[in-house]
Amino acid sequence: MSAFIKIERLEYTYPLDGGGRVSALRGIDLTIERGEFIAIVGPNGTGKSTLARHLNGLLLPTAGRVWVDDLLTAEPGQLWSVRQRVGMVFQNPDNQIVASTVEEDVAFGPENAGLASEEIRRRVDEALVTVGLTEYRAYPPQMLSGGQRQLLAIAGVLAIRPACIVFDEPASMLDPASRLMVMDTVRRLNAEGLTIVLVTHAMDEAVAARRVLVMHEGRIAMDGPPARVFDRADQLREWGLDLPVAVEVARRLRGLGWRLPLDVLTIEQLARALC
């Protein structure tokens, strides 16, 4: 794999209403390879979303540099190319829906890119098939469920054909069934080769990633495979973070003498280990 996103000594400060600035990111160094699935976790106010918004140029560094596919995000002439490569899906899908029907909404991005009508239709069809919304193509978005509207937001990004999608708390406003639907789509997109960056408060979502970053006070405090990160339970709890349910149950059972693998992360893995 080759490095797709590279960040060097990234600093970012927000302006305060009364004057002055507050630091949100401090000395971030990070490399993201093509095809990776990274989860970014941490308490509120630790810089997760601020970091995510630097990955496609929605925010530009106060200091340091961010490259996407060798394009420097701070170069104004390269910003459109950066955003074609890295799409973003936000917490509230309604903030990304702009058209009166599902298929028109998915077509919005390719139309603005000036693509030919035939290519736009092809991309709309492919995106709707990918997220399972083909039968709803003529529906007004407001007739969809919350989970389906989030899938529609994902389809709109897919129609641009990015190499990476950044998800900023995509399932936090959804009911459990819709959350599963969205997360299944996220995992499938990664399995098909898309680079995924997932910002989440839900540790049970983070276990799907191959790599977990823990943010603390504007810095990357931990970076590694989920099993290794979640093994540092005491430090995570000190920062106000819970363990995934299966990890917590496995830890307690080990304390009672059960011999369980250290890489148990999901309920399914726990069930297999117990059986």
Q: What is the pLDDT of residues 199-246, one digit of tens each?
A: 999 999 999 999 999 999 999 999 999 999 999 999 999 999 999 999
Token pair of 27, please? 């000395």
**What was the pLDDT predicted at 17?**
83
Give every CB contact of residue 47 below 8 A, 6+ residues apart in sequence.
Answer: 12, 24, 25, 215, 218, 219
- Find out whether 39 and 205 touch, Cβ atoms under 8 Å: yes
Distance between CA atoms of residues 11 and 28, nearest Å: 7
Q: What is the pLDDT of residues 85-130, one digit of tens each?
A: 999 999 999 999 999 999 999 999 999 888 999 999 999 999 999 9
Band (2; pLDDT cuts 50, 70, 90): low
In this prediction the pTM is 0.93
Geometric angle at alpha carbon 250, from 244 and 253, rounded to 5°: 145
Token pair of 141, please? 């978005």
Q: What is the pLDDT of residues 131-171, one digit of tens each?
A: 999 999 999 999 999 999 999 999 999 999 999 999 999 98
Q: Which amino acid is at 22?
A: V
- Find out whether 163 and 124 touch, Cβ atoms under 8 Å: no
- Residue 69's alpha-carbon distances to 66, 150, 162, 199, 272, in angstroms, are 10, 27, 11, 21, 40
Question: Which helix (DSSP H) or strand (DSSP E) does residue 245 occupy?
Answer: helix 245-255
Domains contained in the chain, CATH given: 34-56+76-225 (3.40.50.300)
The rounded radius of gyration (Å) of the Cα atoms in the chain is 20
**What count of residues does the chain have?**
275
**What was the pLDDT predicted at 76?**
87
Cα of first residue to Cα of last residue in the chain, in angstroms, is 37
Q: How buried is residue 275: exposed, middle or buried, by Cβ count under 10 Å (0-12/13-18/19+)?
A: exposed
Is the pLDDT at 19 greater than 90, yes or no?
Answer: no
- Find out whether 90 and 125 touch, Cβ atoms under 8 Å: no
Q: How buried is residue 206: exposed, middle or buried, by Cβ count under 10 Å (0-12/13-18/19+)?
A: buried
Token pair of 134, please? 């083909």
